[in-house]
A and B are shown apart, each in its own frame.
Chain A
Amino acid sequence: MKKFIYKATIITLPVLILLLLVNYFGDAARLFDSDYEKQMAKIVASNKYVTNIENYDERLFQKELISDKNIQPNLVIIGSSRTMLINSDLFPSALLFNNSVSGASIEDIVSIYELYKFNKKSPQKIIIGIDPWTFNENNGQKRWQSISAYYYSFQNTINQENTTYFKYKELFSFSYFQSSLKMIPCFIAGNANPKSTKETHNLLATKLTDGSFVYGEQYRNANQIEIDNKINSYLTGGIYSIEAFDNISVRILNEFEKLIIDMKENGIEIEFFLAPYAPVVYDKIQKKYPMVLKSEEMINDFASSNNIKLYGSFNPYILGMDKTYFYDGMHCKEVGIEMIIKN
């Protein structure tokens, strides 16, 4: 028995140590490097662009930005990666800041709004990017948990989630190991930190001083064949966050209404923005995802009954957009966004 335990330990211990070391030092999602988002925010707040950014916690980055005294916008964009490209050139008369985060759920929108309130710098106007998955209870979005304190603060409830537990659970995660292992060369070369730059367009993704986003060179300059492949890949892989969209969530709808009421009570002007899908993706949505169409109808009704201005649509056809307006299946290019806002 002793021999068995000794040998089992000899085999499992090095594996466990390797797992912990790679997850901690490779740290693909920067869970254990709390300075990373601070460094990024510091660069942006000092009026410089930041690049060489990958796999950071976008929510924590927003928290750092909003708490910085140099960030004092009067127009704020809160949405997902589908609104990340909205920049200050499109609203020249406003002091715009884009606080969009990838895969934004209602909890993200609420938390970011609450962060502005908490820092006593509520803007005059907020444009909310609404996605088809916003009202889907089964959207699978969990990333908001890193700023969940602000979500619960808005709801006047106590934080039930132990985010520290989730963070340290990742130390033992094999899927986190797979991502972190790829970051080890960067860690060894000491090349993992964000860099300030004067260029808006860089090799890797860049965040501009207005919080908007510019894709890295490879994504930005993909030719139409590569884009078509991305769209096909998107189609066959299942449509992001709406695969189990069975009905419009009453809970989310109530929270959304509460948010709008709170914004209005605080004298904030509200506008909605709906980003389109690539045409073939929308074709599939029409056939397979009726709740997306129902969501858009509901948003339209809500906006008109509450006198809220609405930009865009999930439907690219009514916006006059073909596939050349897209980077992939769900992300519209800058030219398309400009067309939506200007029209």
Chain B
Amino acid sequence: MANFMLPFSIFFASIFTSNILLTNYLGMCSFLSVSKELKTSLGLGAAVVFVMATTTPLNWAVYQWLLIPFGLEYLRFIVFIIVIAAFVQLTEMALERYSEGLYQSLGIFLPLITVNCAILGASLFMVIREYSLITSFFFGFGSGLGWMLAIVAMAGIRTKLKTAKVPPGLEGPGITLVIAGFMAMAFMGFSGMIAVS
């Protein structure tokens, strides 16, 4: 029973209590630069959810079935990043070819994703915490959703902030970091809900 429930509790834990952005600081670069507008953050967030949910189990398979049998675990950094880059490239090409609308809204964000630390981070956490295939899918999916939640909420707050008076030195990244700190505190409030993996 506990085994059966594990993927679900990890799914919820990775959205709220151990949000990859607010507790592990992963994906900060795009978080700070893209969170100015609601629409773009939604697009980037959706792309992150998709790529994370697919590449984490994909990397799990590569790691368990290729790297471990050949004793090449130390190559995992290179291999993971190649898998992610190749997958992103393929998705971009497929979208461009088959779905013009989706390419316009999602595709432009894909190149940004290869360098997003959160994607590689999810794969590395998956290895260290020794997740199973199903668990790593839910972990990737949940982490992506958590990241999207954080960036969309931040974009909403930043649109309101346009009319506020901010000290000149704090403008831009400074105030964004302060807000992120408060958001992290708010998310910590969830920690009584689910035990962190």
A and B are interacting partners: no
